[in-house]
Amino acid sequence: MAKLTEHIEIGPTDLLPRLKDNGYDNERVQRRREWIEKKCGAEMPHIGGQGWDFESTRGNIENPIGIAQIPMGVAGPVLVHGQHAQGIFYVPMATTEGALIRSYERGMVALTKSGGAQTAVASDENQTAPSFFFKDVQSAAEFPAWIESKLHDLQALVATTTSHGKLRNLKCYPTGRQVIVNLGFGIGDAQGMNMIVRATEAVCLWIKEHYPIENYFLFSGMCGEKRASGFIMSRGKGKRVTAGALLTHEVLRLYLHVTADQLFRVWQSTVQGNIQAGAIGYNGHASNGLTAIFIATGQDVANVVNSSCSMTTFEPHPDGIYASVTLSALSVATVGGGTALPTPREALRIMDCVGTGKAAKLAEIVAAAILGGEVSMGAAIASQEFVGAHERYGRNRPK
């Protein structure tokens, strides 16, 4: 084992090269890549890419050296009867996990054959949760009433920092000398964190000016960005969206090779397993589908952690089984972030989800797709076909 006493000299030549204007033109991206190739003895013909204009990645990445390429496939069709999405959709998914797309496709077709999935967006609000510090508990206790009375001022202030983000509400959580203020924002079609964090900084500075706080931090960790928590299971974050469908006995039998009872038993058994594990939420493999769609469509993929805080249900029904997923904290965007990059934009276009006014639609399609995956996974476990399917499609293919 290397010992700390073993001196390793780090010199200026070990730091990544600082290039003019941060080095986004293709020539400088290449120079940086070559620097790494030399330093690490690695060649990168594929990462180097072809035909990219790296200048377009400014604002999305630093120290660019090229592109990561993940195979993209498509699953579907899924018939959606939503508030925002209506019709038949094909869903682009980028993944390296064999059998994943086949599984989602199978579930989506099963939903479609059963008459489609209904979808609805119950709430749509992102949030930040800065914390404010006071001398003592008494001082902290006086703050909530004051800040609640200033909501209109803060709304006006936020409006000066962003035209898309709207401060809608605030709620205080005093804890010892610290008061966490959860700020709920309308965010239009963006993921919105940058926008609302900037607005939140303005809010913090305004408060600092108008109220005798000792200090503040922009983040308390409570808002649930990119983490799993009981708070976002109930409070939500981003979009709370539900998809549901009645799978008929015929579809279950002919297409998924299970009975309603078998499928239901898997649900019940795995709910118990998840509860025994002290898990957040319950689902079969929501994170699989979310990740594949997020990579394909230029979402902030780390948001899969909060977005997969969800609840899948399978309910016995006289005509089959009623299946649903409720994603409590789905972060999807159709503007901003990586959505305008070349392949994401094309992928979004497959679902007619490019640009303004499309985020709720995308959320509903995502929910329907995830529901497809839950149905298919449950059926594969129930019918004992899981391993067989992975042998056929997965990376464990026989040589």
Q: Which residues 272-331 are close enough to bind a second copy by CB under 8 A?
A: 272-285, 287-288, 290-292, 295-296, 298, 300-302, 304-305, 308, 311, 313, 315-316, 322, 324-326, 328
- Under the binding rule (CB under 8 A), the answer on residue 184 touching a second copy is no
For the window 255-274, what string marks contact with a second copy as x by the rule CB under 8 A?
Answer: ------x---xx-xxxxxxx
Q: Select 98 or 186, whichever has its Cβ closest to a second copy.
A: 98
- Of 124, 300, 364, 374, which one is the catalytic site residue? 300
Q: Which stretch binds a second copy (CB under 8 A): 130-138, 149-157, 252-260, 355-363?
A: 130-138
CB of 155 to a second copy, least distance (A): 19
Is-cis flag, bond preceding 130, omega within 30? no
Give the Cα separation of 74 and 72 in Å (integer). Answer: 7
| 188, 244, 320, 372: residue in contact with a second copy (rule CB under 8 A) | 244
Q: Select 107 or 337, whichever has its Cβ closest to a second copy.
A: 337
CB of 376 to a second copy, least distance (A): 12
Q: Select 168 or 226, whichever has its Cβ closest to a second copy.
A: 226
CB of 183 to a second copy, least distance (A): 14
Residues 141-170 contacting a second copy, CB under 8 A? 141, 144
- Under the binding rule (CB under 8 A), the answer on residue 74 touching a second copy is yes
Maximum Cα–Cα distance across the chain: 72
CB of 153 to a second copy, least distance (A): 20
**Structure tokens, 327:** 């994603």
**Structure tokens, 138:** 């008494």
Q: Which stretch binds a second copy (CB under 8 A): 149-157, 248-256, 341-349, 355-363?
A: 341-349
**Structure tokens, 37:** 């190739």
Q: Select 156 or 275, whichever has its Cβ closest to a second copy.
A: 275
Identity (one letter) of the amino acid at 51?
Answer: G
Give the Cα separation of 332 and 126 in Å (integer). Answer: 11
- Under the binding rule (CB under 8 A), the answer on residue 92 touching a second copy is yes
34 catalytic per annotation: no
Burial class from Cβ neighbours inside 10 Å (0-12, 13-18, 19+) for residue 207 reads buried
Q: Select 356 or 396, whichever has its Cβ closest to a second copy.
A: 396
Give the Cα separation of 176 and 141 in Å (integer). Answer: 9
Q: Could you tell me which residues come within 8 angstroms of residue 309 by beta carbon, excluding any fewer than 6 positions away?
A: 224, 228, 229, 232, 233, 280, 281, 327, 328, 329
- Under the binding rule (CB under 8 A), the answer on residue 220 touching a second copy is yes
Helix axes 100-113, 359-382, angle to 10 degrees: 100
DSSP output for 152-192: HHHHHHHHHH-SS-EEEEEEEEEETTEEEEEEEEE-TTS--
Give the Cα separation of 102 and 104 in Å (integer). Answer: 6
Residues 34-73 contacting a second copy, CB under 8 A? 36, 39-47, 49-52, 54, 57-73
Give the Cα separation of 329 and 327 in Å (integer). Answer: 6
Give the Cα separation of 24 and 64 in Å (integer). Answer: 7
How many residues form the binding site for a second copy (CB under 8 A)?
A: 191
For the window 359-378, what string marks contact with a second copy as x by the rule CB under 8 A?
Answer: --------------------
Q: How many residues does the chain have?
A: 399
Q: Which stretch binds a second copy (CB under 8 A): 95-103, 150-158, 247-255, 355-363?
A: 95-103
Q: Could you tell me which residues come within 8 angstroms of residue 328 by beta carbon, excluding any fewer than 6 positions away?
A: 232, 233, 234, 236, 237, 240, 281, 309, 310, 311
- Under the binding rule (CB under 8 A), the answer on residue 6 touching a second copy is yes
249 catalytic per annotation: no
- Of 25, 34, 37, 97, which one is the catalytic site residue? 97
- Under the binding rule (CB under 8 A), the answer on residue 238 touching a second copy is no
285 catalytic per annotation: no
| 248, 331, 343, 376: residue in contact with a second copy (rule CB under 8 A) | 343
Give the Cα separation of 322 and 46 in Å (integer). Answer: 46
- Under the binding rule (CB under 8 A), the answer on residue 86 touching a second copy is yes
Give the Cα separation of 390 and 236 in Å (integer). Answer: 34
CB of 69 to a second copy, least distance (A): 5
Q: Which residues are designated catalytic?
A: 97, 300, 390
